[in-house]
């Protein structure tokens, strides 16, 4: 029986809202919750703090995580994993809820399979690349933050009749790049999932230019190319002036959108219910308004995102 559990968080918009849902759902079952500070590092170091209903007041609208986070290299060693297990035992934690992307969920799967810890995951990453999960927490906010910045860049691109190359986040995944380029009415997008031809992009720019089209926005996912390199190549090949913008970490922060807050409420609640009902080594996801439990082993496998249809649409509309 679960009387007390810990929560570990990664960082993106919607995580605080999920934490609130987790703590308050647990409170309705008279179950105690301990927040782990700085992700898996906090589990190794025994850095925990109790969370009650009041301690999660006023955080639903905050980006980031009030628990702080870290990419824990230390957790990769068995010595530190055993230290984390010691923390779990010493604090009498009967289970864990882990809120994060692939790295965090991989750690959760390891705790469940290697050490028998009861673990439920909540997928949260701006890259939206957790396998079998339609919508991860933080992804909607990230696209909207990028779109807001892009709309401002468009003002200058249009007024000054310029070519802009805008770099968005996504090391291995073009989710933000694809969505923001379609939502922002961009002329092209360079994605990790597909090949691109700079000569072809330049030919289109020149053809458009000849017909009086004078402003262009090309989106680049950071994992595929650098905005500066693409812009330099376009100038070299076309002789036209270019400007770049690298949006960077603004995309991981900011107030969560309504979509992310509602998703956080549902997933946070469902994760606690799953843990209390004896489920483990799974993550919660929402499909057609129903909660699904996906084995972590499946969720942490690489996700193949298909962007061809949206890319074709972008090209028709640009």
Tokens of 83: 């230290």
Interacting positions 205-244 with ligand F6P (CB under 6 A) = 222
Of residues 15 and 202, the one with the C-beta less far from ligand F6P: 15
Is position 125 an interface residue for ligand F6P (rule: CB under 6 A)?
yes
Piece of the chain touching ligand F6P by CB under 6 A; list 112-120, 122-130, 228-236, 267-275: 122-130
Active-site position among 41, 127, 140, 260: 127
Find the shortest distance in angstroms from Cβ 223 to ligand F6P.
7
- Which is closer to ligand F6P, CB of 185 or CB of 248? 248
Piece in contact with ligand F6P (CB under 6 A), picked from 19-27, 115-123, 125-133, 268-276:
125-133
Q: Is 171 in the site for ligand F6P (CB under 6 A)?
A: yes
155 is catalytic: no
Site residues for ligand F6P, 52-71, by CB under 6 A, read: 71
The answer to the question of residue 81 lying near ligand F6P (CB under 6 A) is no
The smaller minimum CB distance to ligand F6P, of residues 71 and 287, is found at: 71
**Is 170 a binder of ligand F6P (CB under 6 A)?**
yes
**Site size for ligand F6P (CB under 6 A):** 10
Q: Check if the beta carbon of residue 6 is closer than 8 Å to that of residue 33.
A: yes
- Least Å distance, CB 94 to ligand F6P, is 30
The residue within the footprint of ligand F6P, chosen from 252, 261, 282, 303 (CB under 6 A), is 252
Using CB under 6 A, pick the residue from 9, 60, 119, 127 that binds ligand F6P: 127
Give the active site residues. 127
By CB under 6 A, name the binding residues for ligand F6P: 71, 101, 125-127, 169-171, 222, 252
């Amino acid at each position: 029986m679960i009387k007390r559990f810990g929560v570990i968080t990664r960082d993106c918009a919607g995580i605080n809202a999920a934490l609130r849902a987790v703590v308050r759902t647990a409170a309705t079952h008279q179950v105690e919750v301990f927040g782990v500070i700085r992700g898996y590092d906090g589990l190794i170091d025994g850095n925990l703090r109790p969370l009650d209903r009041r301690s999660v007041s006023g955080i639903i609208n905050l980006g980031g995580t009030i628990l702080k986070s870290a990419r824990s290299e230390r957790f990769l060693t068995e010595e530190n994993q055993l230290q984390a297990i010691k923390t779990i035992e010493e604090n009498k934690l009967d289970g864990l809820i882990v809120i994060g992307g692939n790295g965090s969920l991989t750690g959760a799967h390891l705790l469940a399979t290697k050490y028998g810890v009861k673990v439920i995951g909540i997928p949260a990453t701006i890259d939206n690349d957790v396998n079998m999960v339609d919508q991860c927490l933080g992804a909607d906010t990230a696209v909207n933050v990028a779109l807001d910045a892009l709309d401002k860049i468009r003002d200058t691109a249009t007024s000054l009749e310029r070519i802009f190359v805008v770099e968005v986040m996504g090391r291995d995944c073009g989710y933000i790049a694809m969505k923001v380029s379609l939502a922002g009415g961009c002329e092209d997008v360079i994605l990790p999932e597909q090949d691109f031809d700079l000569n072809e992009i330049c030919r289109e720019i020149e053809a458009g230019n000849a017909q009086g089209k004078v402003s262009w926005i090309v989106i680049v996912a950071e994992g595929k190319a650098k905005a500066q390199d693409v812009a330099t190549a376009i100038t070299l090949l076309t002789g036209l002036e270019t400007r770049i913008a690298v949006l960077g970490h603004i995309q991981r922060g900011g107030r969560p959108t309504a979509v992310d807050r509602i998703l956080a409420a549902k997933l946070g609640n469902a994760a606690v219910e799953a843990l209390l009902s004896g489920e483990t080594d799974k993550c919660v996801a929402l499909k057609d308004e129903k909660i699904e439990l996906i084995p972590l082993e499946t969720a942490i496998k690489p996700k193949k995102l298909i962007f061809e249809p949206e890319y074709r649409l972008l090209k028709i509309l640009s």
